[in-house]
Chains A and B, each alone.
Chain A
Amino acid sequence: KNEVEQSPQNLTAQEGEFITINCSYSVGISALHWLQQHPGGGIVSLFMLSSGKKKHGRLIATINIQEKHSSLHITASHPRDSAVYICAVSSFSSGSARQLTFGSGTQLTVLP
């Protein structure tokens, strides 16, 4: 079973701080997803990546396939960034279709 481990589980930061959330996984994957879940519960896809780095606004996602590790960075954090950030990986299941395996999430709170 592919396990996805996120760290830290909880993170509190002051507005403006640089934030890093880490994700490690145990088997070969075809893609890694970063998702954001707001307090209201809705889940939004932030990034999908299989190599290198992607950037969208103040968010940066990196992945190291050899080390089976990905990071999500938030620059100049803001209280509106407060949410649960979820890492998920796509790998072959016992069948033919790839399925997503999710980490348990990182609760980020950014204080003004």
Chain B
Amino acid sequence: NAGVTQTPKFQVLKTGQSMTLQCAQDMNHEYMSWYRQDPGMGLRLIHYSVGAGITDQGEVPNGYNVSRSTTEDFPLRLLSAAPSQTSVYFCASSTTGALGSQPQHFGDGTRLSIL
């Protein structure tokens, strides 16, 4: 049972480039979310999904897009990378229930640097 799998683990981009961070879970969880973690700050919610075909914005959605075509996958797209998006990104999933009311399962993170 792999849990939540994030790829890549590390990535360096140039300003203006686009890329997709992949997240997949094999636990049949309905709820999936993307967070960014910056030094001295708590994790902040970028986007989340309560099920296939349904997504919504979190606290810091600007510059990011998501889609949820299947229960398993929840990719995060950076449209035009900016240095302010340098961060560590975490994907998380949880079972049925309002977001945050069930134990969260996290991926290992993607460390992204924008030059």
Contacts and interface: CB of A to CB of B under 8 A. Distances in A.
Interface of A: 4, 30-31, 33, 35, 40-45, 48, 86, 88-91, 95, 97-105
Contacts of A91: 100
A45 B103 contact: yes
Nearest to B109: A41
Contact of B48 (A35, A41, A97, A102): A97
Contact of B105 (A45, A86, A88, A98): A45
Interface stretch (B17-25, B39-47, B61-69): B39-47
Interface of B: 35, 40-45, 48, 50, 56, 58-59, 88, 90, 92, 98-109, 111
Given A4-B42, A103-B42, A105-B42, A98 B101 contact: yes
23 contacts: A4-B42, A33-B100, A33-B103, A41-B88, A41-B109, A42-B108, A43-B90, A43-B92, A43-B106, A44-B106, A45-B104, A45-B105, A95-B56, A97-B50, A97-B98, A99-B59, A100-B99, A100-B100, A102-B35, A102-B43, A102-B44, A104-B40, A104-B41
Contacts of A99: 45, 48, 58-59, 99-100
Given A45-B104, A86-B43, 10 more contacts: A42-B107, A43-B106, A43-B109, A44-B106, A45-B103, A88-B104, A95-B56, A98-B98, A100-B45, A100-B104
Contact of B99 (A4, A40, A97, A102): A97
Given A4-B42, A86-B42, A99-B58, A42 B109 contact: yes
A97 B56 contact: yes
A90 B43 contact: no
B42 A30 contact: no
A42 B45 CA distance: 17
A41 B50 CA distance: 26
A44 B106 CA distance: 7
Contacts of B45: 99-100
Nearest to A4: B42
A111 B85 CA distance: 35
A71 to B, nearest CB: 18
